[in-house]
Amino acid sequence: MRKPLVAGNWKMNGTLESITPLVEGIKQGLTSINNVEVLICPSFVYLSNVSDLIEDTSILLGAQNVSQEDEGAFTGEISCNMLKDFDCQYVIIGHSERRSLYGESSELVAEKFIQVQKSGLTPILCVGELLEERESGETEAVIGQQLRAVLDKVGAEGFQQAVIAYEPVWAIGTGLTATPEQAQEVHGFIRDLVAEYESDRTVAEQVRILYGGSVKPDNAKEIFAKQDIDGGLIGGAALKSEDFLGICQAANG
Ligand code: PEP
């Protein structure tokens, strides 16, 4: 049985002033939600503050990116060990904004995946196709290439302690959402691809696959109801405690 995970990706949003009411709002509303793992991924600079704010709660802390290197002369980069100093458990890697705006290749994302796991943190590996790729029937080829870049290096075992997020790029921050059927189709494809790398389907059946792309309280329930969708990676709606809680509630069942 896979426990749903709802992860809020705050991206480059928030101020020292705004994060406290946001976290406090989430904390208050979560008292009635116990069937879901809830994760928040603030900007690096607020990890310490958020870590303090969620102390003694079940809320988990994650980062939005990390370096593939251990330490050293890498100006502006953040290491896994640094994240561990602030009680991070998860790291989002390969988000489409990192891939498209900062040129991160699937090979680099695979290096980050390995680094994150080596340090004992859990990677959330994002994959997703562009609109033109979907329209030209290349969705599975694109997702397959992004996923195989990691699977070829770590095998299915590498996904024992990992999360995958399917985020169609055309649905991120656009208000467009994949239909639950479109999302389920890709989630099923992803699970089958993981299974190709093992002799039985143990890891494939256990790995959590999140959907991301304009998830809101009013569409979350029908998306999360699909059999291979194990929660969501939430951008815009993670910035308002009521919306984020509405999505957590939908995942709670
Ligand atoms: C995201 O950036 O991971 C995301 C899913 O954003 P939004 O929910 O705003 O589409």
CA distances from 118 to 10, 56, 70, 123, 161 (A): 25, 27, 10, 10, 11
Give 103's DSSP letter. Answer: -
CB crowding 22-34: b at 16 or more within 10 Å, else e: bbeebbebbeebe
Q: Is the pLDDT of residue 175 over 90?
A: no
Q: Best substitution site from 6, 9, 131 to test ligand 1's pocket, by max atoms within 8 Å of Cβ?
A: 9
pLDDT of residue 131: 95
Q: Which tens digits make up the pLDDT trace of 94-119?
A: 999 999 999 999 999 999 999 999 99
Q: In the prediction, which pLDDT does 1 show?
A: 84
Atom in ligand 1 nearest the alpha carbon of residue 92: 3
pLDDT value of position 152: 98
Active site residue 187: no
Question: How long a stretch of residues is the chain?
Answer: 253
Percentage with pLDDT > 90 across the chain: 96
Q: Is 169 in the pocket of ligand 1 (CB under 6 A)?
A: no
Q: Is the CB of 215 under 6 A from ligand 1?
A: yes
- Domain 5-58+124-252 falls under CATH 3.20.20.70: yes
Query: Residue 174 CA: which ligand 1 atom is closest?
Result: 10
The one catalytic residue in 37, 111, 129, 167 is 167
Counting atoms of ligand 1 from 1, which one is nearest the CA of 9?
3
Closest residue by Cα to atom 7, ligand 1, is 235
- Beta carbons of 116 and 154 less than 8 angstroms apart: no
- For residue range 16-60, list pLDDT tens digits in order: 999 999 999 999 999 889 999 999 999 999 999 999 999 999 999
Q: Is there a catalytic annotation at residue 95?
A: yes
Q: How do the domains of the chain map onto residue ranges? A: 5-58+124-252
